[in-house]
């Protein structure tokens, strides 16, 4: 009966479609995701079983689409808003009601959904797998941070920058509030407490600007109200990495990790941040998140080398309190930039023994006023025993307590902290009087243990204005505060990009190991003083291209052509990369606790020859891999993965390159270690980019070590968007799946322009590179390793919900496949309605082996991978319970 | 008479002791700042951070606020506030106060 009815409905619609010219041939011209917006005589077509309209982004009834057309001019002549065009493609924004008109144009060949796809070139984002999640590769969902609040506590934000606006209406901001703690309110300005005295009581300083205030400022009615400015530029860059949408450029290649998250900004200082300010910032962010009913990730790219380094400072405990205040609260903090600073000493001091700490103060030119020439040394013991102190200046002046001397003022604080019951001794040698600056030469600080037992000490030369040095110091234990907070996600930095183009016309680069994929030399080193693991994870933090504040004045060396983006390095940059990734996880499950988020991040990190065994004091648990973390969150029994295949070696030489001429080709042979899809490539250009039109990419089979035949589609990338640096190109449309252990080649070429340099290392370690000569039509081996790195991800069928044209009509549990299996099989089931789903594995004795699913699921067809790699061969059962539906099936693991 | 004098002295001593700076409950920087304010008889208000022995209840919050400090935020057992010398000394004497300190300074962690 139902089938007959469906037939009649389709037949009826077909008649109407045909009557209006919308025959099935017209439907073929329109992406299935867009077909619900086609109109007929009877109204919208969405009464039939097309894809969900929600798969396409529509704001204010405006739809972005990509049109393959034989005549771009005709689009314009019919009044369509053509944003850009490339050969026979054009991007168009139109009202949904105009879609049918567009489809009916004779020149229109195909209309595809122009969902905001971010074909981003952000190398860091690609390296950690975020760009794959942005693109919708996993779970048929574009993870861009939708519905999650990303709070940046920093130096403010350039709220006018296009990357922080709604891309469908750039008169609207994505910033929900800015609380500028540095301003004093005037006129009608308000503090958070002024706005809402009930929920924001006590937050009664600074000025808060609402989204409406910002929108009014952007559209100029009224203007001059929002006074917040990011003069420093740090906060803007950090915010761009976490949540910028890249909208300044049409290709959006510098989009951040969570480009559709809501942004909350706390300006806690211009160049420094008092602890109380950012503690208040955490309180404020928490209250805004409660009001908006959203999950919240806070990024703090700030820190200090002073403190006990054990997680007990008030600020660190405030971080712990914040993240445990509710589910969906995460705080991501930079580890620090002291990884190559020799500022730390440690040892054991026996009863009645004395330890001398020697500092060399070089010859320097004192600054004019007081309290600006100094070195500061902070010493902590693992107990509360008493110690006595003595300081000897270069001119042999000795003091045992705080004193003013002709060699400078000596401050000595010697007390037991009420926070950890440990003894702290603070030494500050400074110019309390501008005429008595710290003397150059050797300063000796002597500490005698007067307690009844030996004590372990750690000391840090945590600040100096004249490059004082500490004899015998190392760079261990340099993760800063508040990064040492137990429940923070603390982030170190590693290298992904090491070269960038500058607005001054040159390109600049790092040197040494920072031309590799290694940890950044500056990334602070753990562990904590109490031995606890820090940092937790490492993320890309060098040559990160993100938003430039128009109110800042950085050195042009770091400004990217166009003057809207800026290169920065530091764990400050690695932290927001991670915070953006956390927003993607919270989008999938806003109720995750901080400890769950931390587990997903740390348990799924990359390890390689650089990270060595993890966890360790440099890398924490390794390189951030948000793709695998997300897949693990989606399917608890499965760890899907993606991998970048690297055959070029770091050799401290970055100048090697080969000139490729039009129609010639270069290729790198790769051998994936996983079954999966080609999803992208990293490629490094050198010298001038002389390519006209596209740089093309193809995947070829292998023929005796050289490329054989082309597989899948050619992917063309507009060469004007390439940087003279590493570039990330999305290759999902190549539509090539690869098998583990099989050789393939990634081939690149262009057909128009003149010779362009492609970078290589200066060795031929792997014999994997080859070149194609168009004049001889032959491939031949190339004697260097080209810097071309294919990226492979697990077959998408393994990582989420199966795409389906229609929703299931009934519950169904299918036979697993393959069966028998070793070690992976897929369990497929269908849900006709939403509800709690429980899928468990049992052994033949009925003992529960694993829970694969235990959460609310929407209607749909699910494929859940099950890996039995740690189980012995034998018969197992899988059992599903969804509402009143319960069913079990048998499967065989055969190793 | 001697007893009365003793009691009076004890009382005075006791009162003066409550106005002493309880250095065991605060970091040296705050103690030094309070000494400076006391020496100058200054009514200047300063930002500070406190930690309590337990999560701050509404009763404890009332005590803090009626002590004359301006309480900004409360996060379980941690609070931030502004207050003058008298108010800070007053709350330092409360049993539930574990630790008081001046805010430390943190910095942006960019490296170029």
Residue B32 sits in a domain whose CATH number is 3.30.70.80
Peptide bond into A823 cis (omega under 30): yes
Residue among A274, A277, A314 minimizing CB distance to B51: A314
pLDDT value at position A21? 42
Q: How far is A456 from chain B (nearest CA, A)?
A: 21
Q: Is the pLDDT of residue A38 over 80?
A: no
More confidently predicted of A822 and A576: A576
Residue among A232, A271, A570 minimizing CB distance to B109: A570
Model-level pTM greater than 0.90? no
Q: Which residue of B has its CA nearest to A544?
A: B110
Q: Number of structural domains, chain B? A: 1
Is B73–A337 a contact, with Cβ atoms under 8 angstroms apart? Answer: no
Domains and CATH numbers, chain A: 2-113 (3.30.70), 125-339+477-634 (3.40.50.200), 344-470 (2.60.120.1290), 657-796 (2.60.120), 807-893 (2.60.40.1930)
Contacts of A154 in chain B (CB under 8 A): 108
Residue A18: pLDDT band with limits 50, 70, 90: very low
Classify residue A712 as left (phi > 0), alpha (psi -120 to 50) or beta. left
Classify A711 as helix, strand or coil: strand
Is A276–B47 a contact, with Cβ atoms under 8 angstroms apart? Answer: yes
Is residue B17 a part of any domain in this protein?
Answer: no
Q: Which residue of B has its CA nearest to A335?
A: B109
Is residue B47 a part of any domain in this protein?
Answer: yes
CA A670/CA A745 separation, integer angstroms: 6
Q: How far is B85 from chain A (nearest CA, A)?
A: 18
Contacts of B61 in chain A (CB under 8 A): none
Contacts of B48 in chain A (CB under 8 A): 276
Q: What is the average pLDDT across A786-803?
A: 76
Q: What is the average pLDDT across A37-66?
A: 47
Percent of chain A with pLDDT over 90: 66
Contacts of A418 in chain B (CB under 8 A): 24-26, 51, 98-99
pLDDT in tens, B26-53: 999 999 999 999 999 999 999 999 999 9
Q: Is the pLDDT of residue A574 over 60?
A: yes
* Contacts by residues A12-21 (CB-CB < 8 Å, ≥ 24 positions apart): A12/A42, A13/A40, A13/A42, A13/A45, A13/A47, A13/A48, A16/A40, A16/A41, A16/A42, A17/A45, A21/A104
Q: Are A481 and A304 in contact (CB under 8 A)?
A: yes
Residue A235: pLDDT band with limits 50, 70, 90: very high
Q: Are A688 and A758 in contact (CB under 8 A)?
A: no
Q: How far is A147 from chain B (nearest CA, A)?
A: 25
CA A215/CA A223 separation, integer angstroms: 10
Residue A222: pLDDT band with limits 50, 70, 90: confident
Q: Which residue of A has its CA nearest to B81?
A: A276
Share the mean pLDDT of chain A.
87
Residue among A277, A322, A337 minimizing CB distance to B109: A337
Classify A224 as helix, strand or coil: coil
pLDDT value at position A46? 33
Give the torsion sign (CA, A151, A155, A159, A165). Answer: negative
Which of A233, A276, A281 should one mutate to test binding to chain B, selecting the residue with the greatest count of B CBs within 10 A? A276
Is B110–A480 a contact, with Cβ atoms under 8 angstroms apart? Answer: no
Is B110–A271 a contact, with Cβ atoms under 8 angstroms apart? Answer: no
pLDDT value at position B12? 44
Catalogue the E-assigned strands of A124-182: 148-154, 165-166, 169-173, 175-180
Neighbouring residues of A649: CB distance < 8 A, sequence distance ≥ 6? A761, A763, A765, A785
Cα torsion through A816, A817, A823, A829, rounded to 10: -40
Q: Are B110 and A573 in contact (CB under 8 A)?
A: yes
Task: Quote ipTM for the complex.
Answer: 0.81
pLDDT in tens, B60-111: 999 999 999 999 999 999 999 999 999 999 999 999 999 999 999 999 998 8
Classify residue B42 as left (phi > 0), alpha (psi -120 to 50) or beta. beta
Q: Are A547 and A158 in contact (CB under 8 A)?
A: yes
Is residue B85 a part of any domain in this protein?
Answer: yes
Residue among A283, A418, A568 minimizing CB distance to B99: A418
Q: Which two tokens stand for residue A389?
A: 């102190």
Q: Compute the count of residue pairs across chains A and B with CB atoms less than 8 Å apart.
A: 152
Residue A45: pLDDT band with limits 50, 70, 90: very low
Instruction: From A440, A416, A412, select the one nearest A427 (Cα to Cα).
Output: A412
Is residue B1 a part of any domain in this protein?
Answer: no
Residue A134: pLDDT band with limits 50, 70, 90: very high
Contacts of B28 in chain A (CB under 8 A): 413-415, 426
Residue A115: pLDDT band with limits 50, 70, 90: very low
Is residue B14 a part of any domain in this protein?
Answer: no
Is B48–A276 a contact, with Cβ atoms under 8 angstroms apart? Answer: yes
Is A279–B98 a contact, with Cβ atoms under 8 angstroms apart? Answer: no
More confidently predicted of A308 and A797: A308
Residue A870: pLDDT band with limits 50, 70, 90: confident
pLDDT in tens, A518-553: 999 999 999 999 999 999 999 999 999 999 999 999
Residue among A203, A282, A572 minimizing CB distance to B110: A572
Q: Is the pLDDT of residue A804 over 80?
A: no
Is residue B4 a part of any domain in this protein?
Answer: no
Q: Are B89 and B46 in contact (CB under 8 A)?
A: no
Q: B60 is in which domain, residue-wise? A: 22-101
pLDDT value at position A90? 56
Q: Which two tokens stand for residue A179?
A: 């609380």
pLDDT value at position A894? 84
Is residue B12 a part of any domain in this protein?
Answer: no
Q: Is the pLDDT of residue A754 over 70?
A: yes
Is A204–B70 a contact, with Cβ atoms under 8 angstroms apart? Answer: yes
Classify residue A147 as exposed, middle or buried by CB count within 10 Å of its CB (0-12, 13-18, 19+): middle
Is residue B35 a part of any domain in this protein?
Answer: yes
Q: What is the average pLDDT across A249-257?
A: 91
Q: How far is A232 from chain B (nearest CA, A)?
A: 10
Contacts of B26 in chain A (CB under 8 A): 418
Contacts of B110 in chain A (CB under 8 A): 234, 237, 301, 337, 568-570, 572-573
The answer to which of A255-259, A596-600, A766-770, A788-792 has the lowest mean pLDDT is A766-770
pLDDT value at position A75? 83
Q: Are A502 and A562 in contact (CB under 8 A)?
A: no
Is A272–B25 a contact, with Cβ atoms under 8 angstroms apart? Answer: no
CA A567/CA A153 separation, integer angstroms: 20
Residue among B48, B73, B108 minimizing CB distance to A203: B73
pLDDT in tens, A711-753: 999 999 999 989 888 899 999 999 898 988 999 999 999 999 9
Contacts of A272 in chain B (CB under 8 A): 105-108
More confidently predicted of A810 and B108: B108
Q: How far is A645 from chain B (nearest CA, A)?
A: 29
pLDDT value at position A122? 63
Is A277–B103 a contact, with Cβ atoms under 8 angstroms apart? Answer: yes
Contacts of A568 in chain B (CB under 8 A): 110, 112
Residue A657: pLDDT band with limits 50, 70, 90: confident
The answer to which of A261-270, A328-337, A756-765, B54-63 has the lowest mean pLDDT is A756-765
More confidently predicted of A352 and A122: A352
Is B108–A279 a contact, with Cβ atoms under 8 angstroms apart? Answer: no
Contacts of A522 in chain B (CB under 8 A): 111
Q: Are A547 and A540 in contact (CB under 8 A)?
A: no
pLDDT in tens, A359-368: 999 999 999 9
More confidently predicted of A818 and B106: B106
DSSP letters of A624-657? --HHHHHHHHH-TT----EEE---PPP-S----E
pLDDT value at position A119? 32
pLDDT value at position A194? 98
Helices (H), strands (E): how many in chain B? Answer: 4, 5
Residue A117: pLDDT band with limits 50, 70, 90: very low
Is A283–B74 a contact, with Cβ atoms under 8 angstroms apart? Answer: yes
pLDDT in tens, A274-297: 999 999 999 999 999 999 999 999
The pairing of strands A81-86 and A62-69 is unpaired
The most confident of A16-20, A61-65, B3-7, by mean pLDDT: A61-65
Contacts of A278 in chain B (CB under 8 A): 106
């Amino acid at each position: 009966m139902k089938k007959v009815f469906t037939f009649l409905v389709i037949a009826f619609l077909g008649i109407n479609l045909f009557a209006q010219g919308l025959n099935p041939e017209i439907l073929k011209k329109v992406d299935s995701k867009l077909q619900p917006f086609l109109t007929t005589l009877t109204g919208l077509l969405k009464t039939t079983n097309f894809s969900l309209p929600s798969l396409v982004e529509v704001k204010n009834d405006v739809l972005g689409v990509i049109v393959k057309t034989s005549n771009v001019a005709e689009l314009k002549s019919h009044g369509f808003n053509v944003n850009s065009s490339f050969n026979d493609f054009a991007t168009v924004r139109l009202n949904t009601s105009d879609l049918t008109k567009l489809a009916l144009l004779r020149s229109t060949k195909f209309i595809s959904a122009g969902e905001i796809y971010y074909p981003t070139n952000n190398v860091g984002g690609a390296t950690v797998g975020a760009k794959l999640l942005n693109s919708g590769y996993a779970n048929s969902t574009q993870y861009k941070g939708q519905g999650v609040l990303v709070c940046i506590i920093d130096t403010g934000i350039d709220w006018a920058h296009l990357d922080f606006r709604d891309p469908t209406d750039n008169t609207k901001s994505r910033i929900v509030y800015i609380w500028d703690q540095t301003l004093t309110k005037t006129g009608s300005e308000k503090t958070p407490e002024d706005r809402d005295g009930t929920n924001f009581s006590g937050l009664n300083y600074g000025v808060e600007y609402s989204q409406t205030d910002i929108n009014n400022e952007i559209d100029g009615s009224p203007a001059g109200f929002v006074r917040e400015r990011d003069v420093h530029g740090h906060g803007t860059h950090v915010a761009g990495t976490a949540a910028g949408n890249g909208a300044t450029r049409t290709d959006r290649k510098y989009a951040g990790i969570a480009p559709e998250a809501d942004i909350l900004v706390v300006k806690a200082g211009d160049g420094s941040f008092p602890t109380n300010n950012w503690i208040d910032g955490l309180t404020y962010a928490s209250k805004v998140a409660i009001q908006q009913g959203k999950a919240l990730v806070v990024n703090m790219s700030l820190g200090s080398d002073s403190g006990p380094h054990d997680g007990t400072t008030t600020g660190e405990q405030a971080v712990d309190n914040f993240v445990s205040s509710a589910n969906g609260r995460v705080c991501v903090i930079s580890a620090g930039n002291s990884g190559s600073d020799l500022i730390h000493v440690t040892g054991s001091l026996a009863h009645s023994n004395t330890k001398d700490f020697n500092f060399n103060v070089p010859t320097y030119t004192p600054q004019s006023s007081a309290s600006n020439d100094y070195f500061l040394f902070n010493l902590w013991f693992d107990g509360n025993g008493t110690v006595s102190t003595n300081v000897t200046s270069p001119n042999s002046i000795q003091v045992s307590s705080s004193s003013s001397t002709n060699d400078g003022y000596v401050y000595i604080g010697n007390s037991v902290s009420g926070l950890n019951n440990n003894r702290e001794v603070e030494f500050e040698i400074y110019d309390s009087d501008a005429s008595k600056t710290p003397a150059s030469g050797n300063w000796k600080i002597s500490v005698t243990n007067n307690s009844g037992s030996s004590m372990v000490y750690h000391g840090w030369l945590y600040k100096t204005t004249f490059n004082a040095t500490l004899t015998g110091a190392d760079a261990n234990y340099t993760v800063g505060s508040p990064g040492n907070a137990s429940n923070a996600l603390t982030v170190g930095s590693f290298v992904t990009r090491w070269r960038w183009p500058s607005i001054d016309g040159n390109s600049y680069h790092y040197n040494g190991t920072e031309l590799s994929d290694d940890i950044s030399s500056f990334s602070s080193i753990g562990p904590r003083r109490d031995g606890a693991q820090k940092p937790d994870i490492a993320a890309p933090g060098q040559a990160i291209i993100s938003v430039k504040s128009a109110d800042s004045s950085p050195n042009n060396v770091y400004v990217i052509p166009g003057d809207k983006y800026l290169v920065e390095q530091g764990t400050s940059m690695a932290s927001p990369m991670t915070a953006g990734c956390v927003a993607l996880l919270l989008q999938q499950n806003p109720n995750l606790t901080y400890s769950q988020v931390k587990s997903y991040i740390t348990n799924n990190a990359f390890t390689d020859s650089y990270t060595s065994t993890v966890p360790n004091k440099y890398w924490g648990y390794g390189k951030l891999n948000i793709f695998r973390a997300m897949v693990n969150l989606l399917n608890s029994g499965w760890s899907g993965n993606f991998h970048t295949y690297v055959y070029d070696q770091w050799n401290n030489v970055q100048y090697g390159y080969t000139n490729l001429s039009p129609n010639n080709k270069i290729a790198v042979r790769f051998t994936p270690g996983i079954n999966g899809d080609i999803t992208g490539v990293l490629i490094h250009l050198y010298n001038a980019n002389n390519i006209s039109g596209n740089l093309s990419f193809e995947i070829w089979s292998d023929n005796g070590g050289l490329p054989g035949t082309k597989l899948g589609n050619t992917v063309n990338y507009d060469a004007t968007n390439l940087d003279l640096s590493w570039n990330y190109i999305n290759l999902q449309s190549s539509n090539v799946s690869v098998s583990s252990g099989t050789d393939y080649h990634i081939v690149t070429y262009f057909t128009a322009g003149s010779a362009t340099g492609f970078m290589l290392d200066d060795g031929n370690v792997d014999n994997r590179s080859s070149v194609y000569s168009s004049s001889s039509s032959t491939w031949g081996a190339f004697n260097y390793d080209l810097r071309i790195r294919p990226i492979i991800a697990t077959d998408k069928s393994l990582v989420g919900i199966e795409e389906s044209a229609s929703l299931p009509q009934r519950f169904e549990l299918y036979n697993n496949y393959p069966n028998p299996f070793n070690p992976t099989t897929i369990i497929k089931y269908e849900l006709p309605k939403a509800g709690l789903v429980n899928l468990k594995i049992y052994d033949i004795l009925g003992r529960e082996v694993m829970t694969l699913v235990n959460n609310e699921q929407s209607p749909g067809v699910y494929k859940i991978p099950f890996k039995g790699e740690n189980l012995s061969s034998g018969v197992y059962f899988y059992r599903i319970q969804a509402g009143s539906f319960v069913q079990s099936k048998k499967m065989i693991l055969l190793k | 008479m001697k007893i009365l004098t003793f009691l009076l002295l004890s009382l005075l001593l006791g009162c003066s002791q409550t106005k002493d700076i309880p250095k065991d409950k605060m970091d040296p920087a705050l103690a030094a700042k309070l000494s400076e304010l006391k020496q100058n008889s200054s009514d200047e208000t300063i930002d500070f951070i406190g930690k309590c022995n337990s999560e701050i209840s509404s009763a404890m919050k009332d005590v803090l606020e009626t002590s004359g400090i301006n309480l900004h935020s409360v996060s379980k057992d941690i609070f931030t506030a502004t207050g003058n010398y008298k108010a800070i000394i007053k709350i330092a004497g409360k049993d539930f106060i574990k630790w008081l300190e001046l805010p430390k300074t943190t910095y942006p962690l960019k490296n170029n």
